[in-house]
Amino acid sequence: MDMPLDFPLIGARSAVWLAAQLHLFFAAFVLGAPIFIVVSEWLGLRTGDHRYERLAKETTKVVAIAYSLTAVFGVLFAFVLMGPYQPVTNYLFKALYPVWVAYGALILLETVCMYLYWYTWEPLSRSAAGKWTHIGIGVALNVLGTAVMLLMNAVTGFMNTPPKVIEGASLWAMVDNVSWWPFNLHRFLGNVTFGGFVVALFAAFMFLTSKKDEDRAFYDWMGYIGNLIGVGALMTMPLAGYILSRELFVYDAQLATFMMADKLKGYFVMQGLLVVLLFLGANFYMWLSMQRIEGGARFAPHMKAIFGVLIAGGIIWVVPQNFFPDLLAKPPAGVSEQALILPERLLFLGLMVAKALAVTAIMIMTFVTYLLYRRARATGAIRWGRIDPMAQYVLIFIPAVAVYLMGLMGAVRSLTRMDYHIYGAVKDVTPYWYTVTLGHSSIMVAVITLLFFVFLAFIFWVGFVVGKTDD
């Protein structure tokens, strides 16, 4: 059956994909960044270090502008979805109507808190009591943002793992589906990671465009803090991903097989490559950061060994057991089946045990890099702003990879449903029911990532370049 409506030029699936992914990128930032904004404001009040206050305030300015774009793309997503995909939209609204009502109410309250938090910054900062009130508004903003995330994760989880018997299922049974809490954990940590890396991106942009030494010193420090938060949260993501995958396997082994051994297995090879690039970038940035520490150069000889382990672990992580595109694929004419399978002596590289050890080695080496950085800090003074400009380009590279990875794995989450809108319950009978190739998804995610960076550049430009006057 053909869908009654389609989208011109790019098709309905691509239109929904673009709008939804851009909405989710901005949502991840405006939900993740306020967590450490409030923590930074509290640290500034507690320690008296004005840098934390400035970090919190400037990041909030970015979040306030990004908040509007989040809403814009959310509305665009809803409009596109309600056209070509009206039947499944109606189904979701009918089945989870109280969730949508609560979502709308919480969005309204979150918006009020967001603008209260931004526009009352100066008035409430004039006294200690007012400052604590302002921090309280920030805490409320984070609570509301987390609640919004929980509700949307309930819808996502319901589409992937609905109750086995939907007819007659209670609202709570549909909300508290088996993947809801794993999604909550995975997305919360992902949002914190995402927020930290985007703050580092903003700091790199400001460092490269600043003309004053004191500004470069501040943005150097800010980039370090953002990257530290992003990497710290990133270290927890493999465990959160494992918990989510395990719940999907317990719910229906066919889902896990489809992801890990069938049509989506190539996505996980790409995921491994991207995660390795993230860790390589994070470690390289930390080594460049040692240059700003007096005497930090003496630790440079350790860099080759650490990067050797990182690259070796990365190679093991991305090696598949075989090179078939799916479980039903046959070798091309003139190619033997054995040629598409790892040699027996290397077969262990495709096993989960080898990959788990590789990931562990990568994480340990990253932790060692951080310990060496801390050792350098303990023995020498930090000269903030005296860092190779290459480090700022690394802080741009890391968020680019993180955004691309987030988009690619978001595609996996949707494609896991195979030819269902709601797995096992509502079939996808549109012309776009099929699982797209890794090549197609890679191009789509690349385009969306590029658009996201264009919008971020616009936000940075509007917020901190337009109308700025030199002191």
- Contacts of residues 120-129 at CB distance under 8 Å and 24 or more positions apart, as own/partner, are 121/57, 121/60
Share of the chain above pLDDT 70, in %: 97
Burial of 345 (0-12, 13-18, 19+ CB in 10 A): exposed
pLDDT of residue 443: 95
Q: Is the pLDDT of residue 1 over 70?
A: no
- How much is the pLDDT for 318? 86
C-alpha to C-alpha distance for 164 and 169, rounded to whole angstroms: 9
Rounded Cα distance, 440 and 401, in Å? 18
- CA atoms of 70 and 23, how far apart (whole Å): 5
pLDDT tens digit string along 53-81? 999 999 999 999 999 899 999 999 988 88
Quote the pLDDT of residue 403: 93
Report CA-CA distances (Å) from 394 to 72, 205, 277, 405. 30, 11, 11, 16
Res 439: pLDDT: 92
Amino acid occupying residue 50: H
Per-residue pLDDT tens digits for 338-377: 767 777 777 777 777 888 889 889 999 999 999 999 999 9
Alpha-carbon span 220 to 224, nearest angstrom? 6
Cα dist from 46 to 77, 105, 137, whole Å = 42, 34, 17
pLDDT digit string, tens, across residues 417-467: 999 999 999 999 888 889 999 999 999 999 999 999 999 999 988 888 775
How high is the pLDDT of residue 469? 52
289 pLDDT above the threshold of 90: yes
Top-confidence residue, 318 or 44: 44
Q: Assess whether pLDDT exceeds 70 at residue 4.
A: no
Q: Is the pLDDT of residue 177 over 90?
A: yes
- CA-based R_g, the chain, Å: 24
Task: Measure the CA angle with vertex 39, ends 38 and 45; round to 5°.
Answer: 90
| pLDDT for position 468 | 63
3-class secondary-structure state, position 131: helix
pLDDT at 256: 83
Residue 230 has pLDDT above 60, yes or no: yes
Nearest of 141, 135, 115 to residue 44 by alpha carbon: 135
Full DSSP string of 80-103: HHHTTTHHHHHHHHHHTHHHHHHH
The pLDDT score that the predictor gives to residue 348 is 77
pLDDT per position as a tens digit, 90-121: 999 999 999 999 999 999 999 999 999 999 99
Q: pLDDT tens-digit profile of 111-157?
A: 999 999 999 999 999 999 999 999 999 999 999 999 999 999 999 99
Task: Read off the pLDDT of each residue in 31-44 and give the average, rounded to a whole number.
Answer: 93
pTM recorded for the entire structure:
0.91
pLDDT of res. 221: 96
Q: What is the pLDDT of residue 470?
A: 54
Find out whether 282 and 435 touch, Cβ atoms under 8 Å: no
Lowest pLDDT segment from 3-7, 219-223, 467-471: 467-471
What local confidence, expressed as pLDDT, does residue 265 receive?
87
